[in-house]
Amino acid sequence: MLLFASVADRAGTRRVELPYVAGDTVASIRARLLERFPQLAAAVPTLMYAINEEYARESDPVPAGATLAMIPPVSGG
Amino acid sequence: MLIRVTPDELDTAEAIQAAGSPAAGAINVFLGVVRDNNLGRRVQYLEYDAYPSMAEKVMRELAVEAKERFALEDCAVLHRTGRLEIGEASLLIAVSCGHRAASFEAGHWLVNEIKKKVPVWKKEVWEDGEAWVEGPESLGIQQAPASMR
């Protein structure tokens, strides 16, 4: 799982390896992440997600070995 | 088509050359630059974070869509990362078209879409603190309950 910007700062890391369980979705992996980093819960309402560099929904299945990213509200430009 | 996320200074001449085409009658160049103030606070500098590979992918998808929508001849979209001082360019868009009107529209459309979708983040650093900016147009803010915006 890749973390960026405000989320990386809150977690104190930019990369987290998480165990994978068959049938995992973005939401189930996020729940596992929040157990380790409860301080990220406040960010959840505005978070977007990406699976292998494509925007994904919370309910989307995550393939084994996928790179999941948490995308806080973007502010490029 | 030139698409790049880079810590290096953005080169306007390179982008114009990349976006150029013999069939173009107009090349429109947009630069997003670092402003010394935001929401009443004095900004000292900005620090940009990015998910570079995904940012380039999303920028390319938007460039392809813009090319189709506005009948562009070609385009260049570059975003800089890392520490940027006041006045430095963070975003560079160059689009070429047969005629001028579509080039202005395409540039405007691309900036707006980039601010919604491209995974890049800016942190404002003030004299007495710092904060990550959450873009009001970003998909993340748009999906949040109205009470949180």
- A5-71: what fold? Ubiquitin-like (UB roll) (3.10.20)
Q: Looking at the predicted structure, is the pLDDT value of residue A39 above 80?
A: yes
* Cβ within 8 Å, pair A77-B111: yes
Q: Is the ipTM of this complex over 0.90?
A: yes
Identify the structural domains of chain B with CATH numbers, from first to last.
2-130 (3.90.1170.40)
Q: Looking at the predicted structure, is the pLDDT value of residue B149 above 90?
A: no
In order of A44, B69, B113, B114, B143, the CA distances from B148 in angstroms are: 11, 33, 22, 22, 10
CA pair distance B59, A58, nearest whole angstrom: 23
Where in chain A are the domains?
Answer: 5-71
Q: Residue B115: closest CA among chain A residues belongs to which residue? A: A76
Q: How confident is the model at residue B53 (pLDDT cuts 50, 70, 90)?
A: very high
For residue A45, list chain B residues with Cβ-Cβ distance below 8 A. 144-145, 148
For residue B113, list chain A residues with Cβ-Cβ distance below 8 A. none
* Cβ within 8 Å, pair A75-B120: yes
In order of B42, B108, B119, B125, the CA distances from B10 in angstroms are: 24, 19, 18, 21
Q: How confident is the model at residue B14 (pLDDT cuts 50, 70, 90)?
A: very high
Q: Would you give the DSSP letter of residue A40?
A: G
Q: How confident is the model at residue B20 (pLDDT cuts 50, 70, 90)?
A: very high
For residue A9, list chain B residues with Cβ-Cβ distance below 8 A. 132
* Cβ within 8 Å, pair A74-B140: yes
**Which amino acid belongs to residue B83?**
R
Q: Tell me, rounded to whole angstroms, the distance of Cα A48 from its chain centroid.
A: 8
**Neighbour-count burial of B67, counting CB atoms closer than 10 A to its CB (0-12 exposed, 13-18 middle, 19+ buried):** middle
From the CA of A10, how many Å to the nearest CA of chain B? Answer: 11
| Residues B106-119, mean pLDDT to the nearest whole number | 98
